[in-house]
Every structure is written in C-alpha cells, then in structure tokens.
Amino acid sequence: MKTSLNELQLMEDCLLQQASGEQYMLFEAKLLLDPKLQDEVNWQYKTYHIIHEYGRQQIRHELEQVHQLLFTTSVHQSFRKRILGLFHK
C-alpha cells in the first residue's frame, strides 16, 4: 500500500519538529495504532542522518578541489608561496 503525500509530509514535519501541537497528537495516535510506523520512523531518522553525512562529504570534496586549485595553479602562486613560507621557517 502506498503512503499518501500528506502522510509523508506529516511524518516529516513531526520528525523535523516543524509540526503543530495538533499534528503531533495526530501522529502519536497513528504511532500507537500502527506498530510498523514506529519502525519507519526509526529508519527515516537514520536516513536523515545519512543524508547529512552525504552533504558533509560533498562539501569536503568541494573544499579539497578549492585547495588543489589554490595550491597547484600558477594564478594563485603568491598565495601558495605565502602559506608554504609559514611552514619552512
């Protein structure tokens, strides 16, 4: 059975703490009535965590590219020399 968009949105709003008090109450009632939903909630939390980890990895990758750009291209030669000079004193 497919979950409706409204149900997905309600679950997300509750998990990301963006729901109203009334919505929380409704969701808590659903949790009590549907044991599978609790399982879904747990995996959804973990998925949010993994997406955050993925985001971090992307940002680190972009920073590494910027580092390579600044330390290997001739246009940024003076910056590179300035930094390397700090470590060779």
Partner 1 sequence: MMTKTPVNNRKTTAREALFIALYQRIFPLVARYVAKRGGHLDEAKDIFHDALVIYYEKVLTTSLVLEHNEEAYVFGIARHLWTKRYKENLRYASLDQLMATFEDDETAVDKVVVTQSETAIASQRIVHVLQAAGKKCMKLLMAFYYEKLEMGEVASRFGFSGIRSATVQKFKCLQKARQVVKERSLQYEDFVE
- Nearest approach, Cβ of 33 to partner 1 (angstroms)? 21
C-alpha to C-alpha distance for 37 and 11, rounded to whole angstroms: 9
- Nearest approach, Cβ of 28 to partner 1 (angstroms)? 21
Size of the chain in residues: 89
Q: Does 34 bind partner 1 (CB under 8 A)?
A: no
Instruction: Rule CB under 8 A: choose which of 32, 38, 49, 77 binds partner 1.
Output: 49
C-alpha to C-alpha distance for 87 and 67, rounded to whole angstroms: 16
C-alpha to C-alpha distance for 31 and 41, rounded to whole angstroms: 9
Instruction: Rule CB under 8 A: choose which of 20, 50, 73, 77 binds partner 1.
Output: 50
User: At 5, phi and psi to the nearest 5?
Assistant: -60, -40
Give me the 53-82 binding string for partner 1, x by CB under 8 A, dash otherwise. xxxxxxxx-xxxxxx-xx--------x--x
The answer to whether 23 and 10 are in contact (CB under 8 A) is yes
Contact footprint for partner 1 (CB under 8 A): 3, 5, 8-9, 12, 40, 43-44, 46-60, 62-67, 69-70, 79, 82-84, 86-87, 89
